[in-house]
Amino acid sequence: MKKISVLFVCLGNICRSPAAEAIFISLLEKKGLTDGFIVDSAGTGSWHIGKRADSRMRIAAERRDINILSKARQITSEDFEEFNYIIAMDDSNFRNIQDFKNRTASAGFASIKKIQDFRSVFNEQEVPDPYFGGNEGFDYVLDILEDSVNGFLESIS
């Protein structure tokens, strides 16, 4: 059976998208579905390539027994070939992903979606970037992502 591949994308790949990736992996583990998926995260920007997720996000996630292990990378043209789903955290990154896909020679088959299209509890249209705010912003982003990432998994399983 072919694995379902999912790439979560935000701006720098150190807050929202690695958190979404880790939440998704945690949900897969709880449901016994890890063997059926390939999961990763990336950023549309290149500022943080190779760095671990923001320590404030890692700490907030650890309090929920979610381990963020990924290192930042930038989205590539190959991602449109390798992933079934590319999931944007906000409208700006959604547009950046679509623009990048349109500029690549091999546009691939990836379905580009917004994570908040799968929300059920929160009204936010976008996942806010907590980077320049206080610690409570990281907890709020995790709340939002736990809701919408769960909705996304339900929509594809």
Residue 81 structural domain: 4-156
Looking at residue 103, its pLDDT comes to 87
Tokens of 152: 């996304």
Query: Any catalytic annotation for residue 129?
Result: yes
Tokens of 20: 């979404």
- Catalytic one among 10, 40, 56, 90? 10
Number of domains in the chain: 1
Looking at residue 106, its pLDDT comes to 64
| Domain CATH for 130 | 3.40.50.2300
Looking at residue 2, its pLDDT comes to 87
> Please, what is the Cα angle at 130 between 125 and 132, to 5 degrees?
130
- Given a contact cutoff of 8 angstroms between Cβ atoms, the answer to whether 52 and 71 are in contact is yes
- Catalytic one among 16, 56, 58, 119? 16
Looking at residue 1, its pLDDT comes to 65
Looking at residue 109, its pLDDT comes to 86
Give the H or E element holding residue 61.
helix 55-62
Query: Any catalytic annotation for residue 64?
Result: no
> Please, what is the Cα angle at 113 between 123 and 32, to 5 degrees?
90
- Given a contact cutoff of 8 angstroms between Cβ atoms, the answer to whether 19 and 87 are in contact is no
pLDDT, mean of each 10-residue run, the chain (157 residues)? 93 97 98 97 96 97 97 96 97 96 80 97 96 92 98 95
- Catalytic one among 40, 79, 90, 129? 129
Query: Any catalytic annotation for residue 10?
Result: yes
CA distance 100 to 22: 25
Looking at residue 11, its pLDDT comes to 97
Amino acid at 94: F
